[in-house]
Chains A and B, each alone.
Chain A
């Protein structure tokens, strides 16, 4: 099975071969490296940029204004902060021109903690991104969804931000991407650039991939249940499922886990249905907790489902700290861990109504 970096690479290949992608660019995106996470190895339209994130987002806007179809990468979302007014401009361009200038832009960026990335390689951007009006914002948790959401982002006529969990870049999927070779080794030999001298003159042998988009705006119930709901995304999907399995084995109930997949426009219908069913809900993500995106979902839950709740709804998010410390105990104290999720879910499941 492909890992997430390979999945993104295959989606970009499909994009430049079949969907009209003209430019895939960013810092170290082109040869020889093909991206710091190898997401852009072996592609035809890649090129390296100056070390200038504002220039990267600006160039993406300009290319789209001229009718091109760019995919830009910000090397780590930790570096995206100085582009915020350009991201805002990209988001309001069509609206401010009264519909004259839609921008078909995809920006992709690795996000989140979990790779011992210290202060500037561990940031989350999901809560910030939820405020970028005019953008669609997605965050896959599996290689299959990374492939599908990248295709949807490329096809979408609007600016779309694709955040890829850093910690899951090398994690293999459990679902085959349509067209992906059955053998991992085969895929690796076909599309992973060799190291050292062998890379010179290397050409990938792309598999015949299929157009298999994951719709933007559709959540996925990754673990059905009736006892409580966890609404999460990105790498916390797996932590939530693990804890849910453990609690189920203890007989505490079946927790439904929703992988939101899209931050905006988020799938309220899916959340709403599950909350009405279980009456107990935990919102879970790793961005800092003050004005966290999960707080917005919590507010809507209270406003719209107050009388259907059977227990106090909860948010578990990252601590409001200036950064993620490098030493493991510091990182673990800063972003939700398995034991934190377990503590919250135990309380949620056992709270008397």
Chain B
């Protein structure tokens, strides 16, 4: 069941909806800030994430139809997508477990970096460190959904998310080609969150195209460039995109302009930058202006989110790493552990 079934007709005129949305954003930020803190205090080797993209991520997390199988939406996310899955309802502690690579990390069992989510029960397919490969893979799940649609069976859509710099990879072009094969167009939502950087390299120094969305338009894909810092705007754009795809079965493209508030990753220090707009600050002002919340209540909300993160952190402090003996488990699905035949098998 989609979270949107509980969404009022005009969500951003609804106090309760907006407060709930704000709370999701605040929790997502508190999670990322806790993860950065964990990295700095030795409870994790590396941090990477997307603080600054909460307005977008919460909207996607609320609008995606979560469940398992082709009847639900498939999510091909990337390393800035923790807030999406948190908003969908994953416990905050799960992300911390992956940060600390504990045995109980439900996404990868202590094998992968933080924000490399994998959650089969909600069709969240494994996030990979290889930039943009998710765009080559996503058409496959969309094909299965198209097949279900043609049979009149319940079918979700496929969502793929990545950053702007990654669109230079050929896999991005693959996704445009494969989504628009004549007579075999796919129910796929292609999203690029554009923060105008590839690690340290400004997009404007490498990309001649005016908008990435123009590349999708060349394939006849309906496309929008949307302000990803304003919940109303990104919410509406996503709603249009999902509605269009669910109705027509055809692809849709969103270029979401977002801020990057803690740099690319811990490799560049993960310091808070103050020269980009913060979607939470802006939304907070709107809520205050409408007198839907007080300064004190905002502070309490933020405190509660930080407390939730801190308690999760306290809880996992004693959790062990996976046993060394498990390092080959799941190499093969048939119980074979991989390794050298006749020695490790």
- Which chain A residues have a beta carbon within 8 Å of chain B's beta carbons? 22-23, 50, 52, 54-55, 57-68, 70, 85-86, 89, 93-103, 133-134, 136, 156-158, 217, 264-269, 272, 300
Contact = CB atoms under 8 A, between A and B. Distances in A.
A300 B105 CA distance: 37
5 contacts: A58-B137, A64-B140, A65-B140, A68-B143, A157-B333
B133 interface: yes
A12 B100 CA distance: 45
Interface stretch (B34-42, B110-118, B263-271, B290-298): B110-118
B331 A63 contact: no
Contacts of A63: 140-141, 143-144
B82 interface: no
B77 to A, nearest CB: 13
B330 interface: yes
Contact of A268 (B128, B170, B341): B341
Contact of B140 (A58, A96, A158): A58
Given A85-B130, A268-B342, A54 B330 contact: no
Interface string B6-24: 0000000000000000000
A44 to B, nearest CB: 14
A347 B282 CA distance: 81
A264 B341 contact: yes
Contact of A58 (B116, B133, B158, B338): B133
A96 B341 contact: no
The CB with the most chain A CB atoms within 10 A, among B106, B140, B341, is that of B140
B64 interface: no
A59 B178 contact: yes
B174 interface: yes
B138 interface: yes
Given A55-B139, A62-B138, A96-B116, A265 B341 contact: yes
A100 B333 CA distance: 9
Given A133-B338, A157-B333, A89 B133 contact: yes
A101 B174 contact: no
Contacts of A66: 69-70, 74, 140-141, 143-145
Given A59-B139, A62-B139, A94 B345 contact: no
A158 B143 CA distance: 21
Contacts of A59: 136-137, 139-140, 143, 178
B3 interface: no
Contacts of B67: none
B111 A98 contact: yes
A60 B174 CA distance: 13
Contacts of A268: 340-343
B50 to A, nearest CB: 20
Contacts of A272: 342
The CB with the most chain A CB atoms within 10 A, among B105, B144, B147, B170, is that of B144
B137 A61 contact: yes
Nearest to B105: A98
A96 B111 contact: yes
B143 A62 contact: yes
B136 A67 contact: no
Given A52-B174, A55-B177, A89-B128, A95 B137 contact: no
Contacts of A267: 341
Given A97-B108, A101-B125, A134-B332, A68 B144 contact: yes
A344 B70 CA distance: 56
A95 B111 contact: yes
A343 to B, nearest CB: 30
B144 A97 contact: no
Nearest to A63: B140
B181 interface: yes
Contacts of B128: 89, 96
B331 A133 contact: yes
B107 interface: yes
Contact of B334 (A50, A134, A156): A156
B171 interface: yes
Interface string B326-337: 000111111010
B142 interface: yes
Contacts of B116: 96
Contact of B141 (A23, A62, A95, A98): A62
Contacts of B166: none
Contact of B108 (A52, A98, A158, A269): A98
Interface in B303-345: 329-334, 336, 338, 340-343, 345
A94 B332 contact: yes
Contacts of B74: 65-66
Given A89-B137, A96-B111, A300-B340, 20 more contacts: A50-B174, A50-B177, A55-B177, A58-B135, A58-B136, A62-B142, A62-B144, A63-B144, A65-B74, A66-B144, A67-B144, A95-B329, A95-B331, A98-B330, A99-B109, A99-B329, A99-B333, A134-B332, A157-B332, A268-B341
Contacts of A58: 133, 135-140, 171, 174, 178
B140 A60 contact: yes
Interface string B283-302: 00000000000000000000
B173 to A, nearest CB: 8
A89 B171 CA distance: 14
